Amino acid sequence: MSIHRFLLFLALFLATASTPFTWCKYVGKEMEVFPVFVKWHVYAVNGLSNNNTLFVHCKSSDDDLGGHSLSSADNFTWSFRTNFLHSTLYWCYMHKDDTHASFNVFWQDMYLFEKCNWKNCIWIAKDDGIYIKNFANCSDELRYKWEAPGWW
Ligand SMILES: *[C@@H]1O[C@H](CO)[C@@H](O)[C@H](O)[C@H]1NC(C)=O
Ligand SMILES: *[C@@H]1O[C@H](CO)[C@@H](O)[C@H](O)[C@H]1NC(C)=O
Ligand SMILES: *[C@@H]1O[C@H](CO)[C@@H](O)[C@H](O)[C@H]1NC(C)=O
């Protein structure tokens, strides 16, 4: 790639990175070129009804983020840059009432990056399962179901 293209993409990246956070403002595909430059933010949001508490414990192979109890509408968030081997993987264990779920929240995947708008991966625990916010059309998509009660 020429230095001009590089500078152009760098400028685009800096412009995008410095704009204030806006819900569902879709920046698009120019970010694909340099995924390693992106500072990713992952959110685990308590979207349960009836003031239900959500327990969250997220980790990667070398980063244990600890257990957290979230009251209604609260979230737990962390940020990171992917490693150069493209192997960054985070997963979460979530627990509510008598049920739980365990699933990946960040992995190396262009479809995921698009949904996250190259910046924010927002996972929302609702009564019927775990949703991811798709910034492309601003909708919450059901991605994982809660496990049947009692199964561990
Ligand atoms: C949730 O809790 C708040 C504050 O504790 C209370 O005002 C509200 O009525 C509760 N809502 C429900 C649906 O229980
Ligand atoms: C997470 O919580 C903070 C503080 O309450 C709030 O400002 C932010 O909008 C929340 N983010 C999400 C994705 O729910
Ligand atoms: C948003 O887009 C996804 C595919 O990218 C699609 O499955 C989903 O139905 C869309 N949601 C809405 C509300 O348009």
pLDDT along the chain (152 residues), means of 10: 60 49 54 68 97 97 96 97 81 94 94 91 97 93 87 50
pLDDT at site 150 = 56
Dihedral over Cα of 105, 92, 39, 82: its sign: negative
pLDDT at site 137 = 86
Give residue 51 CA to ligand 1 midpoint distance, Å: 6
Task: From the CA of 122, give the closest atom in ligand 2.
Answer: 13
pLDDT at site 37 = 74
Give residue 95 CA to ligand 1 midpoint distance, Å: 20
pLDDT at site 132 = 98
pLDDT at site 3 = 59
pLDDT at site 148 = 75
pLDDT at site 83 = 72
pLDDT at site 6 = 57
Task: From the CA of 75, give the closest atom in ligand 2.
Answer: 1
Judged by DSSP in three states, 3 sits in helix
pLDDT at site 22 = 46
Ligand 1 lined by 51 (C-beta under 6 Å): yes
Find the helix or strand (DSSP H, E) in which 4 lies: helix 3-18
Find the helix or strand (DSSP H, E) in which 93 lies: strand 90-96
